[in-house]
Amino acid sequence: MFVDKVRITVIGGRGGDGAVAFHREKYVASGGPDGGDGGHGGSVILRVDDNLTTLLDFRYKRKYQAGSGVNGMGRKMAGKRGEPLIIKVPRGTVVRDAETNQIIVDMSTGEDYVIAKGGRGGWGNSHYATATRQVPRFAKSGRKGEEKDIILELKLLADVGLVGFPNVGKSTLLSVTSNARPKIANYHFTTLFPNLGVIYVEEGVSFVMADIPGIIEGAAGGAGLGHDFLRHIDRCRLLVHVIDVSGSEGRDPVEDFDAICAELKDYSVDLSNRPMIVAANKLDIMDPESDNLQRLRERVEAEGIELYEISAGTTQGTRQLMRVVAEKLKTLPPVTIYEPEYVAPMPLAGDPSELTIEHLGSTWVITGKWLENLILDINFDDYEARNYFDLLLRRSGLFTRLEEMGIADGDTVDIYDFEFEYQR
C-alpha cells in the first residue's frame, strides 16, 4: 500500500523533578541542601531513511512520545536525560504544522531535525539556598515537553515527471528507459501509485524520472487518482507530457494536450509554467492517413513546446528523447527544496497584574499565563513548595485583589484544576 500523507502527534519527554535532599555525613555539621536536578526530557527527532519509499509505517500509529527525564537525587546527583525518539521518514518528506499548514521543514537534505523538544528538568533544592533561606524544602518540577500535531507529506525527489491521461504509455516509457518495472496493462489506472526510475544516459549522466497515475479531467478538483499524486511532480524540474497520437481509444490528441495543461494549471500555476516536452507516443499503431500527429505538432509548437515522436512499445525514439531530456536538465535549476514557513509562537511569560478573576458563588476561578507557567514549576506534593507558591501569589497582589472583591474565609479558589480553601 502506498501512503503519502499522514497526520501524527509528536510529544517531547517530560523533564524529571528536582530533588529535595540534605547532606548527612558523620562529622559534617550543617551539610545543607544537596538535591540534584531532574534530567531533561528526550526530544523527538526526524531522520531521513533512504530505504523508505512510503509513509505506510505511520498509518496505524499516530502518537510518538520521547522518554521522560529521571528525577534528581541526593548528593546533587542529576537525573538521567530521557531517551530521544528517532522517527525515520522517506527522503523528500515535507513536514507541515497541522493547524496552519505552514511548512516546518523539508526532509530532503539528510540532516536530522528536532521536531519536538523535551521538557527542561526541574532544579533541586540546592539551587534555592540563600543567606536568609538556608534550608529550602522545595524543588522545581520538570517541565512538559513540546507537543505538536504535524502533517507528513511525501513529495518524491524526481528530476522529470511523466504526465498524461491513463493508458497513454507512461509506465511503458519508464520501463524501457530505466530499471523500474511498473505494472503495465491495456486498461485505465494500471498505475495506482507513483513509480521512480533512474535513467542512465551515458557515463556520468543520469536523472530520476517519476511516473504518476494517469490524470483525467477534473483531477485538480479531486476526480480520479491523479489528484492525490500530483504533489509528486511538484519538485520536478521538467515535465514530459506523453500523448497517445494513435487515437486508439477514440480520444483526440490535441484535446488531450489542452485538457492536461488545464488540469496542471488548476492544481498549481507554478506547475503549469514548468518546462515541458511533449512525447507523441504509439506511432507504431497510428493510422498512416491520420492527421493527429500534424495537428498536435502545430498546437504544441504554437505554445513554444518541443515535440518528439516515439513508440514506447517498440522503443522507437525513446533513447533520443532521454538524451534531449538530459540536455534540458543541464540548463534547469536543481530540484526544489522547500523553505520553512512556520514560525513557532513565542512562549508568553505573562504578567501577574493581568490575572483574570471570575466569581461563581463561593468559588473564585483564577486564570492567566503567568499563573499557568508558575504551576508548571511547583511540586504540590511538597509542603515547602506549596508555601513558596503561596508566597509568590501574595507578592503578585492576587490576594489583595481577591479581598477587595469580597472573598471570604472558606471560599474555594480554583486555579487550573487545583482547588484551595482561602484563609486570611
Q: Does 346 fall in a domain? A: no
Residue 336 within a domain: no
Of 147, 63, 44, 53, nearest to 93 by C-alpha is: 53
DSSP-derived secondary structure for 223-264: -TTHHHHGGGGSS-SEEEEEEE-S-TTS--HHHHHHHHHHHH
* End-of-domain residue from the set 106, 134, 154: 154
Instruction: Give the pLDDT of residue 28.
Output: 65
d(CA 7, CA 12): 17
Does any domain span residue 339?
no
Domain count for the chain, please give it: 3
pLDDT mean over 263-291 = 89
Q: Do residue 186 and residue 266 come from a single domain? A: yes
2 pLDDT band, cuts 50/70/90, is low
> pLDDT digits over 77-107, tens only?
999 999 999 999 999 999 999 999 999 999 9
**CA 217, 221, 222, 227 torsion-angle sign:** positive
Residue closest to 167 by CA, chosen among 223, 217, 216: 216
Answer whether residue 347 is part of any domain.
Answer: no
Cα separation, 257 vs 274, whole angstroms? 15
What is the pLDDT averaged over residues 30-55?
90
Residue 76 has pLDDT above 80, yes or no: yes
Q: Are both 318 and 209 inside the same structural domain?
A: yes
Residue 182 has what pLDDT? 66
CATH of the domain at 87: 2.70.210.12
Domain harbouring 394, CATH code: 3.30.300.350
Give Cα 412 to chain centroid, integer Å.
44
Examine the domain organization and report whether 200 and 324 are in the same domain.
yes
The answer to whether residues 236 and 269 belong to one domain is yes
pLDDT at residue 293 greater than cutoff 90 = yes
Question: Is pTM beyond 0.75 here?
Answer: no
Query: What confidence tier does 66 reach under pLDDT thresholds 50, 70, 90?
Result: very high
342/100 Cα distance (integer angstroms): 8
Whether residues 1 and 120 share a domain: the answer is yes
Residue 413: domain span: 352-421
203-220, pLDDT tens digit by residue? Answer: 889 999 988 876 765 544
User: Does the structure show a pLDDT above 70 at 183?
Assistant: no
1 in the same domain as 94: yes
CATH number at residue 213: 3.40.50.300
Domain boundary among 110, 133, 154: 154
Among 154, 180, 202, residue at a domain's last position: 154
